[in-house]
């Protein structure tokens, strides 16, 4: 297939493209706005590969998007481009509405017009795969069953509300126009090439430098952790095998409290890069963010059965490999932080508006 991937230089998008280049014969058209969290380095060998084309542009640019469909004639769309950081959505929700809602509408409108002109097997095979989050389902209490494909929506932040709205648009285009769309929802991802403001890289880099480790509230908030390479493999299965009109909840069965994650990072770094102090002593509990959801967890049973897929990484082992990756790629994240934060370190003071998710 020739697949239009939006946001392909982001954390999850780049993992998808690496998988497509390494594991399949598919051709990739990568549309990315190249915002602060994008990195061509994350494409690895896909950068410059004959089956990968990078186009810099905005998914909300209707003229550009229509031209891409006309010129490249994709067989499928994998829509990953999104603003994703919850704290940023609280401080400035407008860009989340523009990208996640308006941008998704522009893609759907262009895809519908393009698909309507296709014929025969080409029309029947076309897919529009929209990648979303478990945060659209709201918050779970400690004893609540995990999210599934049929969990009612209850978004709590500007970010999750914008993603919920985009999910609804995608399903509406399927039911109203017949566009063969698929939605997948996933949990927290981790792994190499993740931007340093997210929980695991932020804590890893602060702990490596023996700086304070900010944790919201009392650290009991729970997240399901999925290695990004496992997620990418699942997403490729969805676009290749998924049934139009379906939803796939993709999770790892690896629910951990934020405090457990931070303490595990500290223990691994104390082993891999010993310091004069125990890193756990640097943990600092900070004021909780507004509307902080207590628990997210996905039951991936349907996706595992329907796709013949399951997460391969056990969290502690995947986390160790991730930390080893950051230790081996200091030049990447040091340059990134220097440019993004103008010489600041991501300590407690500098994360007042960049706190962990």
Residue 341 has pLDDT above 80, yes or no: no
> In the predicted model, what is the mean pLDDT of the chain?
93
pLDDT (average), residues 66-80: 98
Place 353 in a pLDDT band, splitting at 50, 70 and 90.
Answer: very low
Place 263 in a pLDDT band, splitting at 50, 70 and 90.
Answer: very high
Of residues 191 and 197, which shows the higher confidence score?
191
Which one of 58, 134, 197, 293 is the catalytic residue?
Answer: 134
pTM of the prediction? 0.93
Place 322 in a pLDDT band, splitting at 50, 70 and 90.
Answer: very high
- At residue 340, the pLDDT reads 64
Q: What percent of the chain has pLDDT over 90?
A: 86
Active site residue 135: yes
Angle ∠(165,167,169) on CA atoms, nearest 5: 70
Active site residue 105: no
* CA proximity to 123, closest of 244, 263, 251: 244
Superfamily covering domain 2-187+228-250: NAD(P)-binding Rossmann-like Domain (3.40.50.720)
Domain ranges of the chain: 2-187+228-250
Which one of 105, 114, 159, 326 is the catalytic residue?
Answer: 159
**Weakest mean pLDDT among 173-177, 268-272, 340-344:** 340-344
Burial of 301 (0-12, 13-18, 19+ CB in 10 A): middle
CB count within 10 Å of CB 178 equals 13
* CA proximity to 307, closest of 244, 356, 237: 237
- Cα 102 to Cα 65, 83, 239, 260, distances in angstroms: 13, 12, 23, 37
Active site residue 159: yes
Which one of 32, 58, 83, 135 is the catalytic residue?
Answer: 135
Residue 354 has pLDDT above 60, yes or no: no
Burial of 15 (0-12, 13-18, 19+ CB in 10 A): buried
């Amino acid at each position: 297939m020739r697949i239009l991937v939006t946001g392909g230089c982001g954390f999850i998008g780049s993992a998808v493209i690496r998988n497509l280049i390494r594991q399949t014969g598919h051709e990739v058209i990568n549309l990315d706005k190249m915002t602060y969290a994008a990195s061509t380095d994350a494409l690895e060998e896909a950068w410059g590969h004959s089956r990968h084309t990078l186009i810099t542009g905005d998914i909300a640019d209707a003229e550009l998007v229509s031209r891409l469909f006309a010129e490249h004639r994709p067989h499928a769309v994998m829509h990953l481009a999104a603003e994703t950081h919850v704290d940023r959505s609280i401080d400035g929700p407008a860009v989340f509405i523009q990208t996640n809602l308006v941008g998704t509408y522009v893609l759907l409108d262009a895809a519908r017009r393009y698909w309507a002109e296709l014929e025969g097997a080409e029309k029947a095979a076309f897919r529009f795969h929209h990648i979303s989050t478990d945060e659209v389902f709201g918050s779970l209490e400690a004893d609540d069953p995990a999210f599934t494909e049929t969990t009612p929506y209850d978004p709590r932040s500007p970010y999750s509300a914008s993603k919920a709205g985009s999910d609804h648009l995608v399903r509406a285009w399927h039911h109203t126009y017949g566009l063969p769309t698929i939605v997948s929802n996933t949990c927290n991802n981790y792994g190499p090439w993740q931007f340093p403001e997210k929980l695991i890289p932020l804590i890893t880099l602060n702990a490596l430098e023996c700086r304070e480790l900010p944790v919201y509230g009392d650290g009991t908030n729970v997240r399901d952790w999925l290695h990004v390479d496992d997620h990418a493999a699942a997403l490729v299965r969805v676009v290749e095998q998924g049934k139009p009109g379906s939803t796939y909840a993709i999770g790892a069965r690896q629910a951990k409290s934020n405090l457990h994650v931070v303490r595990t990072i500290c223990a691994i770094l104390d082993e891999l890069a010993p310091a004069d102090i125990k890193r756990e002593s640097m943990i600092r509990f900070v004021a909780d963010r507004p509307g902080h959801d207590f628990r997210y967890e996905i039951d991936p049973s349907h996706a595992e059965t329907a796709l013949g897929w399951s997460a391969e990484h056990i969290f502690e082992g995947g986390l160790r490999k991730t930390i080893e990756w950051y230790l081996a790629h200091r030049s990447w994240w040091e340059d990134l932080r220097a440019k993004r934060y103008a010489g600041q370190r991501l300590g407690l003071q500098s994360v007042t508006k960049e706190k962990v998710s």
